[in-house]
Structure 1
Amino acid sequence: MADALLQVDGLRCGYGEAVVLSDVSFTIPEGRSLALLGRNGTGKTTLLDTLVGVTRRHAGTIALNGREISRLPVYERAGAANWQGLGWVPQERNIFKSLTVHENLTAVARPGAWTPKRVYELFPRLAERQRNLGQQLSGGEQQMLAFGRALVLNPKLLLLDEPLEGLAPIIVEELLRAIRRVAREEGLSSIVVEQHPHMVLGVTDDAIVLDRGGIAYRATSEALIADPTPLDTWLGVAQH
């Protein structure tokens, strides 16, 4: 597929000898966003971790922006030299808690459209707290910072692993607005892992449901909003 930004073919991966996902293949075209759905334990995080390079890949290939990255170390998958790679927001957030908000952003920033200034415009809460240490932030603010830190890498593909989990509704709304702006309005290709499909289908273009170690269902997000029956089939929850 000529316009494929991410091409995953026959991926078999897991932790050590334990295989979690088998024969997973999918494509993300340039400028489109994907909701990665599934029950707990179906391999959503494993898939993102494998794209980033922190799990064991038993078979298959991963190509990003025309470059095979399966054998690259983690730091090179984030981008090297003039090559734009992956921006990753893990569940653990992994911000530098002993650095200020501004230091967290400037320490990893790379040339491109996303700068610390633009992150502050996206998340005014961070602008107000840019001199605060990471450890002084609330959970929601830490999530915003982790999101912003991924953006200033100026990646080709943004990976968000359950970015809304455990956050207050007002913070969830702020983050959803940010995801919508980044993915829909600015066209940054993204994968968003989420257990609650009704939260992310409105801000993504396509959706994949994982089950029993593979892709059980795929559709456009719009189609699943119009007819949520498959969500009840595979996830046990209908759209609300």
Structure 2
Amino acid sequence: MTELLKVEQLSAGYGEAIVLNNISLALDEGKTLALLGRNGTGKTTLINTLAGATRQHGGSITLGGLALHKLASHERAAAGIGWVPQERNIFKSLTVHENLTAVARPGRWTPERVYEMFPRLAERKTNLGTQLSGGEQQMLAVGRALVLNPRLLLLDEPLEGLAPIIVEELLRAIRRITREEGLSAIIVEQHPQAILAISDSAAVLDRGTVVHAGTARQLREQPQLLEQLLGVAR
């Protein structure tokens, strides 16, 4: 298996405030990592740091051997990082179709394939971002990341605050993207069992450090360990 992402001794935060302390992890090509932890443990900061949206104080990030930590956020996108932040960051003054075509790069993921995966977006392709529901905005945010044709997809709480029917639709799409299409991904989520079921490995953060790393199956099949690490039941 070919290693895609390697994070070594990473320290980062906002301004002078350090949130992450000596984080090390790795992800192989075509694999999915579930990034878990209680609120405020550094999960979003880690995703933001990979995307280039924080201040890095030490360590290194490499993507396919490329020194990602030396690049600005837009250069990381060009290098293969597809980022879906909590805020979604769609262009609300543009239509659905304009959102997709404005950022699209050549590759297998096209706006047409996004519409096929999310029929709701196909029905609303001429609607402005402001006219979409929260779930539709999330689908569009995922679609925008995909049409960049990234090597690594970063999803920060993609199911947060969504209706159960939309959660199921997004989970099916994420499973297809990762399992069937083989796109590498790191997923932050507050619904651990839902994400562990479609992930290969898992890392748990606490106070800005990795306190557990192993297979997703191990955590999924040991609810008592999951409860101990996260303070949640099955």
Q: TM > 0.5 between the two?
A: yes
Quote the residue 1:14 is aligned against.
13
Quote the residue 2:131 is aligned against.
136
**Unpaired runs of at least 5, structure 2:** none
Quote the residue 1:158 is aligned against.
153
Verify: 1:117 aligned to 2:112, yes or no: yes
Q: Secondary structure at the match of 2:69?
A: coil
* CA distance in structure 2 between the aligned counterparts of 1:91 and 1:199, rounded to whole angstroms: 18
Aligned AA (1:11)? L
1:9-31 CA-to-partner distances (Å, cap 9, x unmatched) read: 00001111111111100000000
Equivalent of 1:95 in 90, 115, 122: 90
* CA distance in structure 1 between the aligned counterparts of 2:96 and 2:200, rounded to whole angstroms: 31
* CA distance in structure 1 between the aligned counterparts of 2:198 and 2:121, rounded to whole angstroms: 22
* CA distance in structure 2 between the aligned counterparts of 1:140 and 1:172, rounded to whole angstroms: 8
Quote the residue 2:163 is aligned against.
168
Verify: 1:232 aligned to 2:227, yes or no: yes
What is the CA-CA distance between 1:66 and the residue it aligns to?
Answer: 1.1
* CA distance in structure 2 between the aligned counterparts of 1:229 and 1:23, rounded to whole angstroms: 27
> So what's the TM-score if we normalise by structure 2?
0.98
Equivalent of 1:183 in 178, 183, 190: 178
What is the CA-CA distance between 1:190 and the residue it aligns to?
Answer: 0.2
1:128-182 CA-to-partner distances (Å, cap 9, x unmatched) read: 0001111100000000000000000000000000000000000000000000000
The range that moved more, 218-227 or 139-148, is: 218-227
> So what's the TM-score if we normalise by structure 1?
0.96
Verify: 1:147 aligned to 2:142, yes or no: yes
Q: Please identify runs of 4+ aligned residues in structure 1 that moved more than 3 A.
A: none
**Unpaired runs of at least 5, structure 1:** none
* CA distance in structure 1 between the aligned counterparts of 2:175 and 2:85, rounded to whole angstroms: 19
**Identity of matched residues, %:** 68
Verify: 1:28 aligned to 2:23, yes or no: no
* CA distance in structure 1 between the aligned counterparts of 2:87 and 2:173, rounded to whole angstroms: 19
Coordinate RMSD, CA, aligned: 0.9
What is the CA-CA distance between 1:238 and the residue it aligns to?
Answer: 2.5
* CA distance in structure 2 between the aligned counterparts of 1:60 and 1:238, rounded to whole angstroms: 34
* CA distance in structure 2 between the aligned counterparts of 1:26 and 1:55, rounded to whole angstroms: 18
Equivalent of 1:85 in 75, 80, 86: 80
Q: Secondary structure at the match of 1:50?
A: helix
Q: Secondary structure at the match of 1:60?
A: strand
Quote the residue 1:41 is aligned against.
40
Aligned pair count reads 234
